[in-house]
Structure 1
Amino acid sequence: MPAKTDSRPVTKARAAARAEPLAATEVMDWIRERIRRGSFVPGQRLVEADIMRELPTATRSRVREALQRLASEGLVTIEEFRGASVKRFTHDDLRQMYRARMALEGMAAADFAAADKPELKRRLQKIQTELNGIENSVDHERFARLNEEWHRLIIEGSGNEFIRMFLERLRIPIYRLLIATFYSARRIDNANAGHRKITEAIVNGRARDAERLMREHIAEGLETLSAMDLDIK
């Protein structure tokens, strides 16, 4: 019987307890998650020695490989004589990311609506019910977490692995900004009004409506971020 793969996220304690060196992909996942959560901020240098102290079984060659691969994903910048740092994104970068999300997540919503996946659609409705329960509150952390689950489930429901890969790259650098938009009850309610319409269209198999509504929802998100004049650098 083949050995089971441990899919839990890498932590400093788990890394120290392992005898074998971490794979480059595991180091990538560790760095990527910290960029996503804002622990590593745009412009921050990613020093190989510091990463190795946090991940004791990560070798220098694996850390270097992880940074180079993250650079190819557009999350890290590597400069001669300065090394690696978290990439800074401009407002134009943000606009382009959102326009790409409009197309890709719109397609994902349409494909999910057209798919015969009743169990996943029931899960989507369950998440929507939880989102509805947070309206008129300021529980922005829980809303942000459920919002992420909602989007991920729609991407999963599309059954398109390429859409999933592309959107993962797009959503990581803007995750921190997405959370910032949910700081008030009014913004939570406005965002969830779009969620409800999209969920209803998907559950009832209205693919064309699902795509249109998802595009509108993401466009409204970009408009909200632009109005907030956030410091994205």
Structure 2
Amino acid sequence: MCDWLRERIRRGRFVPGQRLVEADIISETGASRVRVREAFQRLEGEGLVEIEEFRGASVKRFTPGEIRQIYRARMALEGLAAAEFAGADAPDLKKQLKEIQDEMDEWEENGGHDRFAMLNNSWHQLILDGAGNEYVKQFISYLTVPIYRLLFSTFYTKERIRLANADHRKITSAILEGRVDDAERAMRQHISDGLNALSELDSQFH
């Protein structure tokens, strides 16, 4: 139940501030009321859901300050993951990373925003897998779900894809060549660049 709700928050099916109606979720999933309420409570503990008396559960709204804190935490954790992957003996995973990078290069040229977004998610996930640190993966999963709702086509403009993929190439090269410090530094800069781009996008709608 928790995974089902997380995925819909991730994909924007449930948007910030939206009430999570127990009856609708029960009807859609067949889950019991007890399971749904337990899922709400668990996601409240993860910071994804707010539960208010008389109003029930709703998707948490994140302030710009909270988004900045999330990105700063991602800088540290994903920087560490990139460094650990660069230093790891994981030839099969590194081969997969190269393949994803090659495909992202193709879609950068073709302008496929949705496909690039999917590849971007796979690329980040593979770096976490390659690091082999389950705690980092778990912490990152909590940090990334709240911002996935923002990563739609309005974020993945042609220019943003070009800049992001330039970062990707630097990070991928550093990991494949075993340059641990360069991989960490480049990943931290990549996450910082993403925060700056997100801040610019947010300012256009406020």
TM-score (norm: length of structure 1): 0.85
The 1:93–1:232 alpha-carbon spacing in structure 2 relative to 1, beyond 3 Å, is: farther
Superposition map of 1:94-105 within 5 A: 94-105=67-78
Contact kept, 8 Å, 2:155 with 2:201, in 1: the verdict is no
Structure 1 residue 30 corresponds to structure 2 residue 4:
yes
**What residue number does 1:178 align with?**
151
- Residue 180 of structure 1 deviates from its aligned partner by 4.2
Counterpart position of 2:16? 42
Segments of 5+ residues of structure 1 without an aligned counterpart are 1-26
In structure 2, distance between residues paired with 1:232 and 1:33: 25
For residue 163 of structure 2, the aligned residue among 183, 190, 193 is 190
Q: CA 1:83–1:231 in structure 2 vs 1: closer, same or farther (change >3 Å)?
A: farther
- The answer to whether structure 1 residue 65 and structure 2 residue 38 are counterparts is yes
CA distance in 2, matches of 1:211, 1:143: 23
Partner SS, residue 50 of structure 2: strand
**Higher relative contact order at CA 8 Å, sep ≥6: structure 1 or structure 2?**
2
Classify 1:108/1:181 alpha carbon distance in 2 versus 1 (closer, same or farther; 3 Å): farther
- Amino acid aligned to 1:28: C
What is the deviation of 1:187?
Answer: 1.3
**What RMSD in Å do the two structures reach over aligned CA positions?**
1.5
CA distance in 1, matches of 2:150, 2:22: 27
Task: Report the AA paired with residue 62 of structure 2.
Answer: F
Q: Provide Cα deviations, 1:23-70, integer angstroms capped at 9, x if missing partner.
A: xxxx111111100000100000011111101112x1111111011001
Q: Check the 8 A contact 1:71/1:77 in 2, yes or no.
A: yes
How many residue pairs end up in the alignment?
206
Tell me, what secondary structure is at the counterpart of 1:78? strand
Identity of aligned residues (%): 62
Aligned 1:136-215 pairs, distance under 5 A: 136-180=109-153, 182-215=155-188
TM-score relative to the length of structure 2: 0.96
Residues 1:132 and 2:102 are matched in the alignment: no
3-state SS of paired residue (2:110): coil
Residue of structure 2 equivalent to 1:223? 196
User: Do the aligned residues in 1 keep the contact of 2:78 with 2:128 (CA within 8 Å)?
Assistant: yes
Aligned counterparts of 1:80 and 1:230: Cα–Cα separation in 2: 33
Misfit runs of 4+, over 4 Å: 230-233
Structure 2 residue runs without a partner (length 5+):
none
